Structure 1
Amino acid sequence: MMKSLSAAGVFTLLAIACLTIMVGCVIVPGLPSVAAHLGVASAVGWLITLPSLGVVIFGPIAAKVIERYGLYRSLVLGLFSYGALGTVGAFLTHPALLFTDRFLLGGSTALVMSGGTGLLSSFFTGEQRLKMIARQGMSIELGGVIFLFFGGILASAGWRWPFSLYLVAWLFLLMLVIFVPRPDRTNERTTEGSGEAASPLMKPIYAAALFSMVCFFTAVIVLPMQLHSQGFSEAETGYFLAFISLMAVIAAWAMPRVVKVRGEFGTLYLAFLAYAAAHLLLAFATGPALLVVAGVLMGSGFGLSVPLVNHMVVEHSPVGLRGQHLAYLSMAIFLGQFLSSFMEFIPGNRPRIFLGAAALAVVVTALLWRWHAALPGEKQESEALP
């Protein structure tokens, strides 16, 4: 019999979801000064993207850990190591040690993301699960609002202070132990072989997740430098990035309703077209008005795509493969974050980077449409290009 989850337990698992986007973002508002003091000013993007690479490399290991020890114990391990590895980064001034720490932090994040989503989904089914995954997406971005806001304030107080936010993982660990019951063994060990075949939808879902994060984190990495060159302070940069996250919260809240009208893939098309429009505006924005509109569109792209791909993986995965597929999804999401750092190598100035990201979003929209049209037995109603 499936165990019930109290309101405090739901809040705990939604709060834990915040840690996935927080892993790189807490130091973003103070990125220039953090990189300078840590002696890595010439490799500033790696501070944000190395945890993402760690998720990609450690993703298969996380799947094995979940298979062997279950979702609950894997999440406990992930939360403890997340808080320790995240905080110690403030005191590692040798680049090799610092980058190793950020890389290992990605392994903890893989456990937190896969274990947290798997544990949350094990308590719900059907439409309730869709609503809960949408709330998880809202909580991820609401966490972005909160952590970027406080990250900007703490960066103004001192470059080391934003690293202290990683310790919130230990608070969430305590809440997990108190409020979340361990699920039934059959629901917890989701990666035990079931003999069921994976859905052909998995590949386009992973692709959508990967490129969504490339589009989103290109802006996250480039915007602090762009806004700094336009005279914005570190705190103001944090406020604007928090505004983008707030827009993503609203979009994630609306996502289930959009899916009912446009379908799953139709919603993904809207998300990538929103990314394209946002990057076009950022390429030419010189004042607050265009920045605000771009922020609304950027947040909408994230809020309509990332919670949806989480739900699609859960819904289209056999129970016996769900934990494995969630681990692969976390790899796709964070590989997208990591690959976003290479967008900086687009020749020319920063507006050309935004134009490149806009072009990428348009291409991905077309590819997803073609991919979905080629899938056998898939319903196409209400999922044409908008």
Structure 2
Amino acid sequence: MVKQDSLLTKIAFLGISFVLTSAYAINGALPQMTEALHISSTEAQVLATTPSITVTVFVLLSSFIAAKLGDKNTIILGVTLVGLAGIVPMFTDSYVIILASRTILGAGLGIFNSLAVSMIAVMYNGKTRAAMLGYRAAAEQVGQAVLTLLAGLLLAFGWRATFLVYLIAFPILFLFIKRVPDTSEMTPLQSSKSEKTTVEKITRISPLVLVFTLFAAFLVIDYMAIQLSFPFMATELKGEGYNTSPILSAMLIAATVGGVTYGWFVATFGRFTLQIGLVLMAVSNFLVAFSHGNFIMLIAGVLLIGFPLQLISPFIFNQLPKLGPVARQSLITSIILIGFNVGVFVEPMFVATFASLIGHGGGSTAASAYATIPYLGLVLLIIAIVTVITSRKQEK
């Protein structure tokens, strides 16, 4: 048996989450790619969001793949695809080939996406599990921040060079192979009496899983509406060639703080952690929406958005053991992840369509975002109020 509780094993396991959000690391290069490849801004955004749809498909397929290959080998396959497909755009000007490589990149991410979450329930329990969920969320944001910053530095050598960041997958893969055991080789962990009692009471998947899935999709639509639109907003204010990568990296560092401090927020504020996150996301929306011409206000809104999201997403995952039996946790995790990834994929279309419905269609990407974001903020506030009311009723 292998002891999975060692620090190096935890680092090696969290390493795979480091690359889980790497699809968005090249977002700062989108304006330059739009010009170089002679494509529309929407087509450029599709390159950033397309991986999310294949992530969704392969999140569903990953349990079948893992049944054949084992959890560890499935993760190895996924990380390998990320490294190989990620660097393809360096060698071509073809939009179709680049789009295909981004599709394969998403497949690789999807293959191990749910395992990066569900294996925590297998490897750890109690406070360690809650902490690892927060650290895993932080690892995603650290990875995106570091890779986005690195891509921004590489942007000085042309948009192609930004795709070199995907080479990081290979040293992460090496450490994972060396240090992380397969689930069949792990030391069994003892569950607490309270956990055993809870598990025994749950016999089927709760309908709340669907509610959480829709909620996850909405959260990501809101987050991506700000993240993907910011380079275009900044270009309108600062001119062509303005490098937004350092600011996007700082945004992700703020998100990392959210993941790392999640445990403290839960210990201090309990169930109100969710409402705190929702209110902070709404504040971010309003700062961005009403920042017209005020670059400092725009940056403040962009920097804020990631922090509350990383309070809410671990909160969602930490509720999953209460929503279904242990044998179904992998499936439940996959369903929630589908919500997150569908939200990423539909965001450009959602923002453009909603802007059109409220009379702001046909404008620039930035204009559509400015029009849509305040309404998303209002919905966040409504959800915060509703969840406070419903939670109080449940207590009575």
Instruction: Tell me which interval the TM-score lies in, with the shorter structure as reference length.
Output: 0.7 to 0.9
Q: Deviations over 1:115-160 (max 9, x none)?
A: 2222333221012111111011111111122111111111122211
Displacement after TM superposition at 1:361 (Å): 3.8
Displacement after TM superposition at 1:244 (Å): 1.0
Displacement after TM superposition at 1:186 (Å): 9.2
Q: Give 2:114's aligned residue.
A: 114
Q: Give 1:157's aligned residue.
A: 157
Which secondary structure state, in structure 2, belongs to the residue aligned with residue 230 of structure 1? helix
Q: Give 2:259's aligned residue.
A: 252
| 2:25 alignment partner AA | V
Return 52-61 or 134-143, whichever deviates more. 52-61
| 1:63 alignment partner AA | S
Q: Give 2:284's aligned residue.
A: 278
| 1:312 alignment partner AA | Q
Cα 1:378/1:141, change in 2 over 3 Å: farther
Q: Deviations over 1:206-234 (max 9, x none)?
A: 22221111111111111001101111675
Cα 1:374/1:277, change in 2 over 3 Å: closer
Which secondary structure state, in structure 1, belongs to the residue aligned with residue 238 of structure 2? coil
Cα 1:151/1:235, change in 2 over 3 Å: farther
Matched, 1:33 2:16: no
Give the count of matched residue pairs.
373
Counterpart selection for 2:379 from 344, 347, 363: 363
Q: Deviations over 1:149-195 (max 9, x none)?
A: 1111111222111111112112111111111122237999xxxxx99
Rounded to whole Å, the distance in 2 between the matches of 1:174 and 1:55 is 23
Q: Give 1:179's aligned residue.
A: 179
Q: Deviations over 1:26-49 (max 9, x none)?
A: 211111112333443451110111
Q: Give 2:352's aligned residue.
A: 344
Q: Give 2:194's aligned residue.
A: none
TM-score, normalised to structure 1's length? 0.87
Q: Where does 1:1-386 land on structure 2 (aligned, <5 Å)? A: 3-23=3-23, 25-42=24-41, 43-184=43-184, 196-231=203-238, 236-264=243-271, 266-285=272-291, 286-314=293-321, 316-342=323-349, 343-345=351-353, 346-347=355-356, 348=360, 349=363, 350-367=366-383, 370=386, 379-380=394-395
Structure index of larger Rg: 2
Q: Extract unaligned runs of 5+ from structure 1.
A: 189-193, 382-386
Rounded to whole Å, the distance in 2 between the matches of 1:46 and 1:352 is 16
RMSD: 2.8
Cα 1:326/1:66, change in 2 over 3 Å: farther
| 1:268 alignment partner AA | L
Which secondary structure state, in structure 1, belongs to the residue aligned with residue 70 of structure 2? helix
Displacement after TM superposition at 1:256 (Å): 2.0
Rounded to whole Å, the distance in 2 between the matches of 1:313 and 1:358 is 30
Rounded to whole Å, the distance in 1 between the matches of 2:210 and 2:162 is 36
Which secondary structure state, in structure 2, belongs to the residue aligned with residue 4 of structure 1? coil
Q: Deviations over 1:252-303 (max 9, x none)?
A: 2222222234444x33333232222212211232334313431343122222
Cα 1:185/1:332, change in 2 over 3 Å: farther
The percent of aligned pairs where both chains have the same amino acid is 19
Cα 1:329/1:160, change in 2 over 3 Å: same
